Amino acid sequence: METERSQKEMLHVGRPNLGDVDVFKQLVDQIFENRWFTNSGELVREFETRLCEYLGVRNCIPVCNGTVGLQIAAHALGLTGEVILPAFTFVATAHALQWEGIKPVFCDINVDNHDIDPSKIDSLITDRTSAIMGVHIWGRPCNTDAIQEIADRRDLIVMYDAAHAFGCKQQGQMIGNFGRCEVFSFHATKFFNTFEGGAIATNDDELAAKIRLMKNFGFARMDEVIHLGTNGKMPEICAAMGLACFEKLDEVVSTNRRNFEEYRQGLDGIPGIRLISFDEIEMANWQYVVIEVDQGRTGVSRYDLMQHLHKNSVRARRYFYPGCHRMEPYCSLYPDQTSVLPRTDELCDRVLELPTGSAISIADVNYVCEVIRQHVPGTSS
Ligand code: T4K
């Protein structure tokens, strides 16, 4: 088996999908010809239209990144006090709230889909709770019906961090249409990227108008500021990348799907390794190949397996270890929240993300599976 790979040949989680490079280059020429680089240029406007059409949503406002998108959305929705969210997420979800002066209240997750467990939400609601923020982890949608039912009953707002879920559906409906709004990340590592970027999708026109103001310093028109605002604008170059990515979107899904099937076969029969799956009927982006390592059955810890993969040039990642509740500032600010999330802790100790996306070939997938097979005792060949 191959063991040495050059830095360039390293198999990374999160290698960007490229989009149509020729389309991108033409659009870059257009940006230079126009001499219009940012502030709601023609490419951002075109990108916004494409996003709305694709998602079937009334508004989808491009922003500079997903984190600022979450902050703007939380602010525009008037969230205050406490918001309930999972700790099994990228730390940006919690930071966006804390940055807005809101206390993140961490809810345990459902081990079946790794998303917030609706049955644990009610007991966390206090008179300071203003909202529930679900996160569609790995692009597997939250139980939106159950979350909405609780919110309606307890008079709370629902919003979603949809950073992973561009191109995914829930009950036949595109993600982007749930809750009061949903926030996508178009970071380089995401299924669909604009280098850095994001978008806030909502069917609420009034909310959209507020978000448009807030992402542009509160300007209603030249010289007229009517609202508190920030700089959340997406530049033209990022919109160009988004438009180029639309051209290759279906291709990326089929490559991801092909890689996933190859992993499914390659990992089959390895004791204690469970590949998390996606709903075969719903539309998914298949962007994440995630395994759970059950040390009792593999005989090796998740950490050992990760180190072994790293030594063999596979940069697997243990997202979202150790969980937001065990990161600063949350473990210092809210120490009572560190020991009450057993399912989250269990998962944080088990999960390993493996490389996929358009940079990863079938041969690469077979290589990764072989590296794993070699390290887990008792694997049938
Ligand atoms: N909510 C959720 C649930 C999220 O997952 C995220 C972002 C957000 C909110 C916030 O959205 P943004 O504000 O980012 O739009 C990475 C990403 O920076 C972050 O966007 C992403 N989640 C998170 C899950 O992963 P790091 O700190 O792990 O990145 P880094 O530099 O270690 O890179 C990850 C892997 O990607 C490496 O294996 C290298 C590879 N990579 C990365 C870049 C940037 C490349 O091959 N090429 C590249 O250009 O956070």
pTM of the model: 0.96
Instruction: Compute the distance from residue 100 Cα to the ligand 1 centre, in Å.
Output: 22
Q: Where are the alpha helices (DSSP H) in the chain?
A: 21-34, 42-55, 66-76, 91-99, 144-154, 205-214, 236-267, 295-298, 302-311, 330-333, 342-348, 362-375
Enumerate the domain spans of the chain: 21-246, 249-375
Out of 11, 142, 189, 356, mutate this one to test ligand 1's pocket (max ligand atoms within 8 Å of CB): namely 189
Cα–Cα distance, 112 to 229 (Å, whole number)? 40
Using DSSP bridges, classify how beta strands 219-221 and 129-135 pair: parallel, antiparallel or unpaired.
unpaired
Chain segment 280-295, per-residue pLDDT in tens: 888 999 999 999 999 9
Q: Locate the ligand 1 atom nearest the alpha carbon of residue 65 and give its number.
A: 15
Q: Which residues line ligand 1 (CB under 6 A)?
A: 12-16, 65-67, 89-90, 92-93, 135, 161, 163-164, 185, 187-189, 198, 315, 319
Q: What is the mean pLDDT of residues 24-32?
A: 98
Write the residue with the smallest CA distance to atom 25 of ligand 1: 189
Backbone angles phi, psi at 308, to 5 degrees: -60, -45
| pLDDT value of position 356 | 97
Q: Is the per-residue pLDDT at 138 higher than 70?
A: yes
Domains 21-246 and 249-375 share a fold: no
Chain segment 199-240, per-residue pLDDT in tens: 999 999 999 999 999 999 999 999 999 999 999 999 999 999
**Which is the CATH superfamily of the domain at 249-375?**
Aspartate Aminotransferase, domain 1 (3.90.1150.10)
Q: Locate the ligand 1 atom nearest the alpha carbon of residue 16 and give its number.
A: 47
Name, in order, each residue with C-beta under 8 angstroms of 155's C-beta and a sequence gap of 6 or more: none
Instruction: Compute the distance from residue 189 Cα to the ligand 1 centre, in Å.
Output: 5
Fold annotation for 21-246: Aspartate Aminotransferase; domain 2 (3.40.640)
Chain segment 53-100, per-residue pLDDT in tens: 999 999 999 999 999 999 999 999 999 999 999 999 999 999 999 999
